[in-house]
Chain A
Amino acid sequence: MSDFFLSPVGLQHWLVVSTALFSIGIYGLLTRRNAVGILMAVELLLNSTSLNFVIFNKFATPSAVDGQIMSIFIIAVAAAEVVVGMAIFVTLFKHRKTVDVTSMNLLKN
């Protein structure tokens, strides 16, 4: 355990950051009642994934840039996704005067 804290920053440290980010995202995804909050949690998940790509690119194949390119893709897709998601929420709000996801139970039974 102490090795981890004493050693210089390496793969494992970065993965811990990424995993922490992912876990926070999952927590937010499952607990937030506000749809915008959920969207933000999803952003955290995407960022953690993006980060993983960069980390593995650096430590596994430093000479290539595949991971970086992938993460740029993810950023672009995430931006698009936010736009669509927000548009949906705006429409939803216009209809139901709320974006509280617990009140949306049309899938029930």
Chain B
Amino acid sequence: MHSEQSFILNNVWLIPAIPFLSFLTLGLLIRNFPKKLQDQLSGIVATLAVFSAAVLAYWLAWEYFHLFPAGVAKQALVPWSFEWLRYQENLAVNVGVLVDPISVLLMVVVTTVSSLVHLYSTGYMHGDPGYARYFTWLNLFTFSMLGLVVSPNILQMYVCWELVGASSFLLIGFYFEKPSAVSASKKAFIVTRFADLGFLLGVILLGYYGYNLFASVAPSLHASGLTNVQPFDFAFLTNPEVMNQFMGMSDTFMGMGVLTLSMVLIFMGAAGKSAMFPLHIWLPDAMEGPTPVSALIHAATMVVAGVYLVARMFPVFAASADALLVVMYVGAFTALFAAVIGCTQDDIKRVLAFSTLSQLGYMMFALGVSSMDHPLGYTASMFHLFTHAFFKALLFLGAGALIHAVHSNSIWDMGGLAKKMPVTHATVLIATLAIAGIYPLAGFFSKDEILVAALESGHTGVFAIGLLVAGITAFYMFRIYFVAFWGKPSHHSEHAHEAPISMLIPLIVLAIFTIGAGFVPMADLVSIGHSAGGHHGINWAVAGPSLFVAAAGISFAWFMYVAGGKQRSAALAGALGGVYTTIKQKFYFDEIYLFITKKIVFRFIATPIAWFDRNVVDGGVNLSGWLTRASGAALNSTQTGQVQTYGAWFVGGAVTVTLVLWIFFL
């Protein structure tokens, strides 16, 4: 094994550990310092920690992809692990670090975006009363996300999964004096928790059957070199032999095979985290958090955890074709659904949130259309995850710079900012072109590959949706671009000025990534299954139409918002009438959820249970308390304070006991 020579391959644990140590230092030490010192130290410590993790991640990527260059089958290494829980001889859970192509890829993405967001935040959050708290949570998030990415088994992933959920909750509710932020954070937490219930059930189901198989399969796994493998390890679950056994199981539940059922349940968790329809409702509200948080957590990293989970478990999903179909349809529908809503929103962050949903839908259906024999979609999905992280983070950070300048989230309060904020304008334009899929920016390559994968898989309908969404994406992204940068200046944007340098550097760096990321030879780095000749180069039969629809979307946006001014778009909205209102109200999904929770769940389930709790359960507890108090009150009078009375009771008691003993036992 070459890894013995490499420092970084043997010490991968440092990458999550550094942000964790920084989190502890900030949270336990620096936050006790005087306020001024706190503010000076916390930003620097947090940013340096994440930057050093980023350097290590790049080093690791360099070493790993040199160890396994293009064409060489890439092994999944576990260079560091220890036993965390042991239940039985055959059942233990390790904590460790898994190094394989997608975990390396994600580590690079997470540390890059996180370190740039940290740097940006030192400027954006400057002077905020919760400055140190902000960086503490941001470091906690970075640690949890890295821990999730490197998980070698599904339980460690679940733990980190909840940790990222918790840090997302803390950061969405960062401005906790604002009621809307508080309710948004609760909404995000509850919706994702609900989805995680499915995840947990899936893990338990898979773990139960996996454990039953383990004893019979383990010897041959050990023989094939997989020593120290445990039932919850991905290496075990995705092993072909194990999956064959799974497929052969005759147990069914509600007409579904065990494998399909557990995969659908696990996908439910993934859909919650990645805000897939119909669990998407939390993500737009999550924009209540500070904008850099939205960029890091709710655009580039945490929300792709769901995609990552599906990719991580991909061989198992592929073994169960039904589960993969669910992934595909949910992904494709979300892509279209969110893109349509994105066209009507006025809050710049909400437009970006819906665009994130739409792009996550792309990644999901790219996974859904691929299989072990045609794994192009897998590569394409990871590629899109990679490029999307950069251009979406850039868009959010650019939006943050705009919001910073005009102190409003509404695109109509911006306008005419192109001249006032030239750097922001240039970088946001690059990102907007990238997400619209214009050659040669990053989004073009990854989106093209996803569309090719969809077309080649034979799911023509999904391909058509993908193509349509590409056009809609170009439209709504250029809508906000034209309105914010070219539109008429409003009184808000008159005194706007360029952001400070600490905010511009991340924008510029991300713009460079956005330009360059498309040229990464992803097919050589990330692949799965029988990738006989991955997709290289550009398939112009797909790229041509996709460029055409993007251009059409951009022209339509120009036609509506630049050439036509406000009247033309208002006229179109008026002509669409109810349809427009429905879309603008996000298809009333929040209202439907409220109806279901309030009118049905609360009234018919929660209220009776609450009544039972208040009257029967609490009644029982209160009764025992009342009995104790009543007997106390009754016996109160016997406590006279006269020691002689007590003595008389004592002597009387002793005499009684003696008499009893004498009469009955002598």
Contacts and interface: CB of A to CB of B under 8 A. Distances in A.
Interface of A: 26, 29-31, 101-102, 104-109
A8 B5 CA distance: 105
Contacts, number: 28
B641 A105 contact: yes
Contacts of A102: 642, 644
B641 A30 contact: no
Contact of B644 (A101, A106, A108): A101
B636 A29 contact: no
Contact of A101 (B636, B642, B648, B651): B642
Contacts of A105: 640-642
A29 B640 CA distance: 17
Interface string B627-652: 00000000010011111100110010
A26 B640 CA distance: 20
A72 to B, nearest CB: 27
Nearest to B636: A109
A96 B636 CA distance: 27
A22 to B, nearest CB: 11
B640 A108 contact: yes
A108 B645 CA distance: 11
B509 to A, nearest CB: 76
B644 A107 contact: no
26 contacts: A26-B651, A29-B644, A29-B647, A30-B644, A30-B647, A30-B648, A31-B644, A101-B642, A101-B643, A101-B644, A102-B642, A102-B644, A104-B641, A104-B643, A105-B640, A105-B641, A105-B642, A106-B641, A107-B639, A107-B641, A107-B643, A108-B639, A108-B641, A109-B636, A109-B639, A109-B641
Contacts of A109: 636, 639, 641
Interface size classification for chain B = 10 to 19
Given A26-B651, A30-B644, 9 more contacts: A31-B644, A101-B642, A101-B644, A102-B642, A102-B644, A104-B641, A105-B642, A106-B641, A107-B641
Contacts of A26: 651
The 6 closest A-B pairs by CB, nearest first: A108-B641, A105-B641, A107-B641, A30-B648, A30-B644, A30-B647
B284 to A, nearest CB: 63
Nearest to B640: A108
A40 to B, nearest CB: 14
A102 B647 CA distance: 13
A30 B652 CA distance: 11
Contacts of B644: 29-31, 101-102
B645 to A, nearest CB: 8
Interface in B278-330: none
Contacts of B641: 104-109
B77 to A, nearest CB: 73
Interface core residue of A26, A30, A31, A102 (most chain B CB under 10 Å): A30
B497 to A, nearest CB: 75
A65 B508 CA distance: 102
B653 to A, nearest CB: 13
B652 to A, nearest CB: 10
A67 to B, nearest CB: 23
Contacts of B648: 30
A11 to B, nearest CB: 19
Contacts of B643: 101, 104, 107
Contacts of B640: 105, 108
Nearest to B652: A30
A108 B637 CA distance: 9
A48 to B, nearest CB: 14
A29 B651 CA distance: 11
Nearest to A102: B642
Contacts of A106: 641
Query: Which of B636, B644, B651 has the largest number of chain A CB atoms within 10 A?
Result: B644
Contacts of B647: 29-30
Contacts of B642: 101-102, 105
A102 B641 CA distance: 9
B322 to A, nearest CB: 73
A101 B642 CA distance: 8
Contacts of A29: 644, 647
Nearest to A108: B641
A29 B642 CA distance: 12
Nearest to B655: A26
A29 B639 CA distance: 19
Contacts of B651: 26, 30
Contacts of A30: 644, 647-648, 651
Nearest to B648: A30
B413 to A, nearest CB: 71
A31 B639 CA distance: 18
A26 B647 CA distance: 9
A108 B643 CA distance: 10
Nearest to B637: A109
A16 to B, nearest CB: 17
A40 B651 CA distance: 18
A38 B647 CA distance: 12
Contacts of A108: 639-641
Nearest to A26: B651
A109 B635 CA distance: 10
A81 B640 CA distance: 26
A51 to B, nearest CB: 20
A105 B642 CA distance: 6
Contacts of A107: 639, 641, 643
A31 B647 CA distance: 10
A95 B647 CA distance: 25
Nearest to B654: A26
A30 to B, nearest CB: 5
Nearest to B647: A30
B103 to A, nearest CB: 69
Nearest to A106: B641
